[in-house]
Structure 1
Amino acid sequence: MSSSTVNRAGPWEWGGLAVLSLPTVLLGLDVTVLYLALPSLAEDLRPSGTEALWIMDAYGFLIAGFLITMGTLGDRVGRRKLLMIGVAAFGAVSAVAAFSDSTELLIASRAALGIAGATLMPSTLALISNMFADPRQRSVAIGVWATSFALGMALGPVVGGAVLAHFWWGSAFLVAVPVAIVTLVAAPLLIPEYRAPRGGRFDLLSVVLSLIAILPVVYAVKRVAKDGLGTATIGAAVIGLVFAVLFVRRQGKLASPLLDVRLFTDRTFSAALSVLLVGLVGVGGSMLLITQQLQLVEGLPPVEAGLWMGPPALMMFVAAIGAPLVARRVPPGIVVAVTLALSTFGYVLLTQVDAAGGVALMVIGFGLVYLGLGAIAALGTDLVVGAAPPEKAGSASAMSETVQELGLALGVAILGSLATAVYRDRADDDIPAGTPPEVAEAAGDSLAGASSVADRMPDGWLDQAREAATSGLHMAMLVAAVGSLVLSLLSAVALRHIGVIGGGEPQADEAALDGAAATEGAARSEV
């Protein structure tokens, strides 16, 4: 259909997009805002290495677990209504997290933030599809949406560093409160309500099946990180996979499923989702490790570490805006492949970082990693949503957001655990004999733990711990580099059938004009 035959969005809709961008930035920011707060948080709450990982990624895992459910719920109760409920809950739980006085309460708060965040993500993207009927305008709006989330992720360390320079670690959570208030006031004024006319029955059994499919897998990942591969870990993974099969089979039988599994038969949809998932695994792990490297190894204060994250954030922003524009002339598969190749080079540079004086190399390498993030976040989301028919945009939106959140959380769990394992292996060998058990346990568990007991260890031992942590960074970044290179090659192949963005629409319009001219000519000849 020609873009001239649909209603084009005006200032009111673009103002609504600005409002929708606020919670989107907030969601991205909350993924990374704790990266710089983790060292001071560790000194206060004294979490174990595994608890620290739970604090970081419980948020992302719970978002991933509930996205599909909340996307379907929004269709039934109203997308704007669910958005406002989620924003209010997000602001309230953020206040609770800010004043948590125990590791358990903070982990529970992060999990609750994940559930609240799951109400926001599909609502924002689905409302954009409702507000922007014109395909070209919708593509730009989705690009702004994707950029907002990625920008929030990039700003997390900067904002965290700024507030930590003056306040305690919990203040990083309070950033959400004013954003929630502004959104609640502006949303009813600028954003229209949408509710599916025939939403169908909300299947609670599917919700239960989806959660039982995801949570045991989460447990398995965490158990491997702590205790290695064992009977309990394998059993949890098997349970998750079994229930995942049951979930998919049930969706195929329902008239109104939580997830329309037929979407995966579309080659573009499946390929774009795969790129988003695998690409963000490396990004999620590297963000955590680089911010820790800047503070715990290089010894930078939080605000300075946050400022050093600014140049990579700028590169991400440029890629997120520029990639969709380049893809109007160059096929998206080529754009994604090239940017991922640059990210691969960035990961390789990060494997060469020294335990001292490696800030410049970290910024350059991480900047190239972020370049790939910006491109795949913008183009990947647009390809996923564009591959689905309009009536399935909600399911497509939920899947796009699910794999992005899951990819980030898996990156923290997998690469973070790999780096921790390397650290523990090296640090345990360097702990002097006769060290008190509680001190040895903290020093051998993580670099944050080692820093907290450095005054009870021999002189020079903390430098050895920093060397061990840097070795862990090198190993994790090497694995990420291999994954990024493979993904770059696969993207060029899997996405090669996709033409330039918007390239089909002018041709369709010309065909329509030719058809109209032929019809008019035939009518004249008859006269």
Structure 2
Amino acid sequence: MTTTATPPNPTRSRSLLALAALALPTLLVAVDISVLGVALPTMGRELHASAAELLWMTDSYNFMVAGAMLTTGAVADRIGRRRMILFCAAVFAIASGIGAFASTPELVIVARGVMGLAGSAILPTSMALLGGLFVEENARIQAMGAMMTVFLGGMAVAPFVGGVLLEHFWWGSVFLMAVPVMGVTIAVVPRLVPESRADVPAPLDPISAALSVGAVLSLVFALKRAVNSGVDAPVAITLVTGLVLGAVFLRRQTTLANPLLDLELLARPRVRRTLAALFLTAMLMGGTSLFFNLYLQEVQGLTPLGAAWWILPEMVSMIAAANLGPWLNRRLPQRTVVVSMMSLMVAGFVLYAVAPASASGRPIVAVGGALATFGIGAAFPMLMDGVISGAPPERAASSASLAQLSNELGIALGLTVLGSLGTVIYRMQLGLPGSTAEQSVIDGVREGRHDPVLLGAVRSSFTDAFHVAGMVGVALMIVVLVLAARATREPSASPVVEDLPELEEFAA
């Protein structure tokens, strides 16, 4: 008896090569989110940068990624998603080259801002292109899991990459590494990735674009400043400005024939519920990460390196889950997978709510963090696909940008809301109004170095605040469970393959 080997599928092989091509710039964008932190001390010395300038070197990139994402996604739908990636790769490479040889802090800040503007389009546009490359739902979710793995892996290795470069080269090398990577992207993407755009591109409304960027930048700035400096006049002014610009933006969208943000997306039950679930989980993950790190270093007294070992399970579990979730999706109903993964997140927050201040709390919070990140890591590809496949094909990049923006705003809001709640609980439990120790757990630990009673009270009070954050996580995750269960019950929209002649040529 002879057997005949199944011939390889050339279309699938080509799609996998295209996925690899799209993953390359995504990896670099992920690395650039955190790699600069390693180089900042050296840059501060050599560029004579102030503390505020060093902060803006980091924040200018992150702010522009969040602020421009909605606009760049809408532009990609109109001019072509592949063309947008190629254009942004070129801009990213040029800005990186300028940043590498910058001689002033101001030039570095501008270069990082331009890099963030270009980077804001790459991840959501790549996610949107996956819909044309992988039409079958399970394959598309698997591809999104692979893309997420690349993104998370890039963030995980960024400090190592930065350390190696600084060991052998000057600080500009952390910028310059983008040039060859984006050069390869520009060379291979046109050969491997088919173009995808709206059949009849709508004109872009520049006023809506300006309003959206201004609103998001104002809100993100206000939320992040509130975390770092507390609520002050600049926070109040920028928060009000962001809310007003956002309200004007939304009102304008209802009057346009071709809005930048199609509010009808939010009328689709699957899209609306999935976006709400993504926003709430991002808020919880962002807010509790602040408590998690302070708990390990201030309550448990670990060094940054010692704390990193207890944080490592989070990153490992999320990367593993990004691949396991799509694998489970092929074998079980999607609703079962998503609800099960969200239940793991509930269990993780329960552990946050019971972790003691003693050393036994370290493995408890490590397991809690691993469960939480595993849950969202496994469910995220399916949730992201629910937003993209639930939207019209001509809005694929816009819907992917909206999902990413929900994550960005959720994280920023979580840091502010849960951080503020934690501060209130910490001060109430400590019961030392007007003292230096009342300002924060960091100040409290510093004050308590030579006062064991005060130190114990500070650590116990912060642990109580951590418990409250964990209980808030459990309560909100129950809401997320309901949203996710109802969203995955809705059928996916049938993907419509656009630009048929070019895709037929690609498949051939």
Q: Which TM class, normalised by the smaller chain length?
A: 0.7 to 0.9
Aligned pairs for 1:245-284 within 5 A? 245-284=247-286
Aligned pairs for 1:199-214 within 5 A? 199-214=201-216
Which residue of structure 1 lines up, in the alignment, with residue 498 of structure 2? none
Q: Quick one: which of 381, 401, 406 aligns to 1:403? A: 406
Inter-partner Cα distance in structure 2 for 1:411 and 1:271 = 19
Q: Give ranges in structure 1 of 5+ residues lacking alignment.
A: 1-6, 433-443, 506-527
User: Cα distance, 1:214 vs. partner?
Assistant: 2.0
| 1:117 is the counterpart of 2:119 | yes
Inter-partner Cα distance in structure 2 for 1:264 and 1:322 = 29
Which residue of structure 2 lines up, in the alignment, with residue 370 of structure 1? 373
Q: Quick one: which of 381, 384, 398 aligns to 1:381? A: 384
Aligned pairs for 1:282-293 within 5 A? 282-287=284-289
Inter-partner Cα distance in structure 1 for 2:293 and 2:162 = 11
Q: Residue 332 of structure 1 contacts residue 495 of structure 1 at CA under 8 Å; is this kept in 2?
A: no
% identity of equivalent residues:
33
Q: Residue 324 of structure 1 contacts residue 501 of structure 1 at CA under 8 Å; is this kept in 2?
A: no
Counterpart amino acid of residue 201 in structure 1: P
Which residue of structure 1 lines up, in the alignment, with residue 328 of structure 2? 326
User: Cα distance, 1:186 vs. partner?
Assistant: 2.1
SS at match of 2:208: helix
Inter-partner Cα distance in structure 1 for 2:435 and 2:169 = 35
Q: Residue 70 of structure 1 contacts residue 118 of structure 1 at CA under 8 Å; is this kept in 2?
A: yes
Which residue of structure 2 lines up, in the alignment, with residue 215 of structure 1? 217
Farther off after superposition, 275-284 or 416-425:
416-425
Inter-partner Cα distance in structure 1 for 2:173 and 2:294 = 19
User: Cα distance, 1:25 vs. partner?
Assistant: 2.8
Which residue of structure 1 lines up, in the alignment, with residue 148 of structure 2? 146
Judging changes above 3 Å, is the alpha-carbon distance between structure 1 residues 202 and 389 closer, same or farther for their aligned structure 2 residues?
A: closer
Q: Residue 71 of structure 1 contacts residue 119 of structure 1 at CA under 8 Å; is this kept in 2?
A: yes
Judging changes above 3 Å, is the alpha-carbon distance between structure 1 residues 71 and 347 closer, same or farther for their aligned structure 2 residues?
A: same
Which residue of structure 2 lines up, in the alignment, with residue 80 of structure 1? 82
Q: Residue 386 of structure 2 contacts residue 492 of structure 2 at CA under 8 Å; is this kept in 1?
A: no
SS at match of 1:255: coil
User: Cα distance, 1:393 vs. partner?
Assistant: 1.8
User: Cα distance, 1:187 vs. partner?
Assistant: 1.7
Q: Residue 286 of structure 2 contacts residue 410 of structure 2 at CA under 8 Å; is this kept in 1?
A: yes
Q: Quick one: which of 118, 122, 126 aligns to 2:128? A: 126
Which residue of structure 1 lines up, in the alignment, with residue 471 of structure 2? 482
Judging changes above 3 Å, is the alpha-carbon distance between structure 1 residues 385 and 474 closer, same or farther for their aligned structure 2 residues?
A: farther
User: Cα distance, 1:109 vs. partner?
Assistant: 4.7
Q: Quick one: which of 474, 481, 486 aligns to 1:492? A: 481
Inter-partner Cα distance in structure 1 for 2:337 and 2:31 = 26
Judging changes above 3 Å, is the alpha-carbon distance between structure 1 residues 478 and 102 closer, same or farther for their aligned structure 2 residues?
A: farther
Q: Residue 297 of structure 2 contacts residue 307 of structure 2 at CA under 8 Å; is this kept in 1?
A: yes
User: Cα distance, 1:120 vs. partner?
Assistant: 0.9
| 1:346 is the counterpart of 2:320 | no
SS at match of 2:400: helix
SS at match of 1:364: helix
Q: Give ranges in structure 2 of 5+ residues lacking alignment.
A: 1-8, 495-508
Inter-partner Cα distance in structure 1 for 2:54 and 2:356 = 24
Inter-partner Cα distance in structure 2 for 1:487 and 1:287 = 16
User: Cα distance, 1:177 vs. partner?
Assistant: 4.5
Q: Quick one: which of 60, 63, 84 aligns to 2:62? A: 60
Q: Residue 441 of structure 2 contacts residue 462 of structure 2 at CA under 8 Å; is this kept in 1?
A: no
Q: Residue 348 of structure 2 contacts residue 369 of structure 2 at CA under 8 Å; is this kept in 1?
A: yes
Please give the TM-score of this superposition, normalised by the length of structure 2: 0.75
Judging changes above 3 Å, is the alpha-carbon distance between structure 1 residues 497 and 184 closer, same or farther for their aligned structure 2 residues?
A: same
Q: Residue 346 of structure 1 contacts residue 369 of structure 1 at CA under 8 Å; is this kept in 2?
A: yes
User: Cα distance, 1:267 vs. partner?
Assistant: 1.2
Q: Residue 223 of structure 2 contacts residue 412 of structure 2 at CA under 8 Å; is this kept in 1?
A: no
Q: Residue 197 of structure 2 contacts residue 394 of structure 2 at CA under 8 Å; is this kept in 1?
A: no
Which residue of structure 2 lines up, in the alignment, with residue 511 of structure 1? none
Inter-partner Cα distance in structure 1 for 2:217 and 2:260 = 17
Inter-partner Cα distance in structure 1 for 2:105 and 2:419 = 19
Judging changes above 3 Å, is the alpha-carbon distance between structure 1 residues 469 and 136 closer, same or farther for their aligned structure 2 residues?
A: same
* CA deviation vs aligned residue, 1:266-287 (integer Å, no higher than 9, x gap): 1110111111112122323455
* CA deviation vs aligned residue, 1:292-331 (integer Å, no higher than 9, x gap): 7767852254xx7666554322211222222234345655
Inter-partner Cα distance in structure 2 for 1:346 and 1:163 = 36
Farther off after superposition, 197-206 or 313-322:
313-322
Q: Residue 444 of structure 2 contacts residue 458 of structure 2 at CA under 8 Å; is this kept in 1?
A: no
Counterpart amino acid of residue 237 in structure 1: L
User: What root-mean-square deviation, in Å, do the aligned CA atoms of Structure 1 and Structure 2 show?
Assistant: 4.7
Which residue of structure 1 lines up, in the alignment, with residue 317 of structure 2? 315
Q: Residue 339 of structure 2 contacts residue 484 of structure 2 at CA under 8 Å; is this kept in 1?
A: no
Q: How many residues align structurally?
A: 479
Farther off after superposition, 25-34 or 64-73:
25-34
User: Cα distance, 1:179 vs. partner?
Assistant: 3.2
* CA deviation vs aligned residue, 1:26-49 (integer Å, no higher than 9, x gap): 33343444667778889996636x
Which residue of structure 2 lines up, in the alignment, with residue 513 of structure 1? none
User: Cα distance, 1:347 vs. partner?
Assistant: 4.1
Judging changes above 3 Å, is the alpha-carbon distance between structure 1 residues 119 and 460 closer, same or farther for their aligned structure 2 residues?
A: same
Counterpart amino acid of residue 210 in structure 2: V
Inter-partner Cα distance in structure 1 for 2:420 and 2:180 = 34
Farther off after superposition, 51-60 or 264-273:
51-60
Counterpart amino acid of residue 378 in structure 2: A
SS at match of 2:270: helix
Farther off after superposition, 401-410 or 171-180:
171-180
* CA deviation vs aligned residue, 1:239-270 (integer Å, no higher than 9, x gap): 32232222122222323221111010111101
Q: Quick one: which of 372, 389, 397 aligns to 1:394? A: 397
Farther off after superposition, 251-260 or 482-491:
482-491
| 1:47 is the counterpart of 2:51 | yes
* CA deviation vs aligned residue, 1:93-131 (integer Å, no higher than 9, x gap): 446666778876665554333212112123212222232
* CA deviation vs aligned residue, 1:325-355 (integer Å, no higher than 9, x gap): 4345655455444433433443454563759
SS at match of 1:10: helix
Q: Residue 346 of structure 2 contacts residue 474 of structure 2 at CA under 8 Å; is this kept in 1?
A: yes
SS at match of 2:51: coil
Counterpart amino acid of residue 489 in structure 1: I
Inter-partner Cα distance in structure 2 for 1:116 and 1:60 = 11
Which residue of structure 2 lines up, in the alignment, with residue 518 of structure 1? none
Q: Residue 261 of structure 2 contacts residue 398 of structure 2 at CA under 8 Å; is this kept in 1?
A: yes
